[in-house]
């Protein structure tokens, strides 16, 4: 007899299987929902981060150019050593260093501030009560440890140095956002005549592109600062007039370095004419002294004489001695400060010219050319050691046979009058040199001058 299916059991089994299917579907749905939620949350976080970096709040600065600058600053210049560039602590140091301590004092941005001339000018400005903020990229053209030593000296006088490059427009814009500079003393440059044959790009990058970048930021500032910048006696090139006057031709540069400095003078004229920037160029003549540059002849002659190494002394093709208008650092500093003190205000605002602006160029030299052989003789006397001289014909490396400054214009306009002869200046340099490098001074250079340049 056939078996009758148990309908009740079958229905229960179907209901149980249906329950299991629903339960499984619910678990899958929950798992899928959690997965989708996590993915959505991750995408949202990525989008928030992207739009935060790319589009900063309008309250910060709604101008699209400023937005670009802000983004560039965050992405390229956020950290500098152990301090946060752009952070509250950093801004406090920048403001404090830039604040003048005398009535009607200047707030000066000094570029190339840990360089030879820059460090001396920064100290002189700070000493008289001006606010000083330094900017330097600490490049390795010569031993950066000397620049770090200068930085340490400046920090002892409450001068803050921002480590950065002139071509970082975002960093420059940030500095001008934080401080309304009254003046810029622009001394940053790729120096050296002979090195231009090895690394020409560095001269164009620093002396031309860097200068233009600084002028671009300065022209957009409100108020615009007055600018004093370093040109060079090298612009006279193959000039045969003697002494060199600001009216002489400067269209025959003998080196790429000279060409970039001449280009700087033409660029300055353009920004003065179009944007109303007050600009003063200073043509330095062979500056020397304590804390000097190791690539300069007086510096490496001192080193080589002390180490018993031969030194090359150049003569011209017709056997005349090469001569330079050696100018002591303290005299140059007085000239730089005189140029700053007599610089008129720029006439533009926010990139728009409102009237004619001051444009000047001056020689800063000693007015007394000295043959290089005489320089060596003075060093021999100070060091108590005879030099091993190797006299050779001057190679075609961009050097010129002589320099001689006419400073009548600088004397007339701001009282520039050099007072230090070469023998006195070299004595001060050698005292610093033997002290800085931990040597025992000879009887002829013993004195009281310390490594900080004071007496």
Strands (E), 354-454: 359-364, 370-371, 388-393
Burial 237-257 (b: 16+ CB within 10 A, else e): bebeeebbbbebebeebbbbb
**Active-site annotation, residues:** 257
365/137 Cα distance (integer angstroms): 27
Residues 6+ apart with CB under 8 A from 281: 228, 229, 230, 231, 264, 265, 268, 360, 361, 362
* Number of C-beta neighbours around residue 55 at 10 A: 12
Q: 3-state secondary structure string, 49-110?
A: HHHHHHCCCCCCCCCHHHHHHHHHHHHHCCEECCEECCCHHHHHHHHHHHCCCCCCCCEEEE
Q: What is the DSSP letter of 288?
A: E
375/421 Cα distance (integer angstroms): 11
Question: If you search the block for the tokens 């006419």, which residue do you land on?
Answer: 406
Q: Which of 331, 337, 322 is nearest to 366 (CA)?
A: 331
Q: In this structure, what token pair is assigned to residue 429?
A: 């340099």
């Amino acid at each position: 007899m056939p078996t009758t299916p148990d309908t009740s059991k079958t229905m229960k089994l179907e209901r149980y299987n249906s329950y299991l299917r629903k339960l499984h579907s619910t678990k899958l749905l929950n798992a899928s929902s959690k997965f989708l939620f996590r993915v959505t949350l991750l995408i949202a976080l990525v989008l928030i981060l992207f739009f935060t970096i790319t589009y900063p709040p309008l309250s910060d600065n709604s101008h699209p150019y400023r937005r670009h600058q802000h983004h560039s600053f965050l992405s390229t210049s956020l950290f500098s050593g152990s301090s946060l560039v752009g952070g509250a602590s950093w801004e406090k140091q920048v403001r404090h260093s830039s604040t003048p301590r005398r009535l009607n004092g200047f707030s000066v941005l000094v570029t190339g501030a840990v360089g030879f001339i820059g460090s001396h000018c920064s100290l002189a400005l700070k000493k008289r009560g001006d606010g000083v903020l330094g900017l330097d990229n600490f490049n390795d053209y010569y031993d950066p440890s000397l620049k770090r030593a200068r930085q340490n000296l400046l920090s002892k006088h409450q001068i803050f140095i921002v480590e950065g490059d002139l071509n970082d427009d975002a960093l420059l814009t940030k500095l001008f956002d934080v401080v309304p500079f009254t003046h810029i003393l622009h001394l940053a440059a790729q120096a050296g005549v002979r090195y231009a044959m090895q690394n020409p790009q560095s001269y164009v990058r620093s002396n031309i592109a860097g200068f233009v970048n600084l002028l671009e930021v300065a022209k957009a500032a409100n108020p615009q600062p007055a600018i004093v910048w370093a040109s060079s006696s090298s612009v006279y090139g193959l000039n045969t007039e003697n002494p060199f006057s600001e009216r002489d031709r400067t269209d025959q540069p003998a080196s790429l370095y000279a060409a970039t400095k001449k280009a700087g003078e033409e660029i300055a004229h353009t920004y003065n004419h179009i944007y109303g920037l007050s600009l003063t160029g200073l043509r330095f003549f062979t500056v020397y002294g304590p804390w000097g540059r190791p690539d300069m002849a007086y510096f490496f002659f001192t080193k080589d004489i002390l180490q018993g190494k031969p030194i090359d002394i150049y003569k011209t093709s017709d056997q005349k001695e090469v001569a330079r208008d050696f100018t002591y650092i303290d005299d140059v500093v007085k000239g730089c400060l005189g140029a700053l003190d007599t610089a008129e205000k720029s006439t533009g605002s926010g990139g728009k010219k409102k009237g004619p602006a001051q444009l000047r160029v001056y020689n800063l030299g000693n007015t007394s050319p000295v043959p290089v052989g005489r320089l060596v003789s003075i060093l021999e006397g100070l060091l108590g050691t005879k030099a091993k001289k190797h006299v050779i014909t001057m190679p075609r490396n961009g050097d010129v046979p002589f320099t001689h400054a006419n400073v009548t214009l600088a004397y007339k306009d701001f009282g520039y009058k050099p007072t230090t002869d070469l023998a006195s200046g070299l004595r001060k340099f050698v005292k610093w040199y033997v002290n800085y490098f931990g040597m025992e001074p000879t009887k002829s250079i013993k004195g009281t001058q310390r490594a900080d340049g004071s007496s």
